Amino acid sequence: MTFQLPELPYAPDALEPHISKETIEFHYGKHHATYVNNLNKLVPGSPFENASLEEMIKKAEGGIFNNAAQVWNHTFYWQCMGPNAGGSPTGRLLNEIVSNFGSFDAFKETFSASAATLFGSGWAWLVVDAEGKLHITQEGNAGNPLRKGLKPILTCDVWEHAYYIDKRNRRPAYIDDFWKLVNWDAVAKHYES
């Protein structure tokens, strides 16, 4: 199976001023594209020749896992953001967030802390477990909660490449701005699916 770099769901400058066009051009055009290219080089002749990204995330190790998960993680990250977004969720998702975390602000605070304290490269996630309960998790490097049987519905990339051009060492400033970009309609769709 040959994997393609999925189209970015908005223009590269659509997330400005929070995430610059330059960041998106490197992050999507170079990092994400490189993971796709690397995966396409690694898969032929491997036991994962006909596997989906999800199957590789659940079962592969080493380079195939790293690149498959990073392809999936980035595609999902782009979907979780958008221009004219931010604010807060509504309906069933909002109710679930409030019942799990006490309030939307308390949820944001916990998720932000999770993203800020992940040491090194990685991702912060909002996930749904098998019982339908929401959790916030951290994953290092290419880590993806699907491997643990959890369903991701929101993610924030905290590899330094996600924010270094715009924010340098100030990861918390990037996380603050991330909330202004979260596409809650997309997150609700992930939750309902």
Write the Ramachandran bin of 38: left for phi over 0, alpha for psi from -120 to 50, otherwise beta.
alpha
Q: In what order do the strands lie in the sheet with 122-128?
A: 134-140, 122-128, 151-157
Candidate list 60, 81, 142, 156; residue touching other proteins; CB under 8 A: 142
CA torsion angle 150 178 158 14 (round to 10): 110
For residues 81 and 158, which CB has a smaller minimum distance to other proteins in the complex? Answer: 158
Query: How far apart, in whole angstroms, are the C-alpha atoms of residue 33 and residue 37?
Result: 6
Q: What's the length of the chain?
A: 193
Q: Which two tokens stand for residue 121?
A: 């490269």
Q: Please count the residues of this chain forming the interface with other proteins, following the rule CB under 8 A.
A: 19
Q: Which member of 72, 123, 159, 191 binds other proteins (CB under 8 A)?
A: 159
Among positions 31, 58, 59, 108, the unique one binding other proteins when judged by CB under 8 A: 31
Six token digits for residue 113: 């802390």
| Dist CA 175 CA 28 (whole Å) | 18
Give the interface segment with other proteins, choosing from 40-48, 92-100, 104-112, 113-121 (CB under 8 A). Answer: 113-121
d(CA 57, CA 72) in angstroms, rounded, equals 9
160 lies in the site for other proteins, by CB under 8 A: yes
* 155 near other proteins (CB under 8 A): no
Can residue 169 be called a binding residue for other proteins (CB under 8 A)?
Answer: yes
Q: Is 114 a residue that touches other proteins (CB under 8 A)? A: no
CA dist 170 and 164 (Å) reads 8
| Segment near other proteins (CB under 8 A); pick from 46-54, 138-146, 174-182, 184-192 | 138-146
Does 120 bind other proteins (CB under 8 A)? Our answer is yes
Query: Which range of residues in 86-94, 97-105, 106-114, 135-143 is near other proteins by CB under 8 A?
Result: 135-143
Among 37, 88, 110, 121, binds other proteins (CB under 8 A): 121
Report the amino acid identity of residue 43: V
**Range 73-92, binding other proteins (CB under 8 A):** none
- Distances in Å between the Cα of 135 and the Cα atoms of 25, 129, 184 are 31, 7, 17
Residues engaged in binding other proteins (CB under 8 A): 26, 30-31, 34, 66, 119-122, 140-142, 159-161, 164-165, 168-169
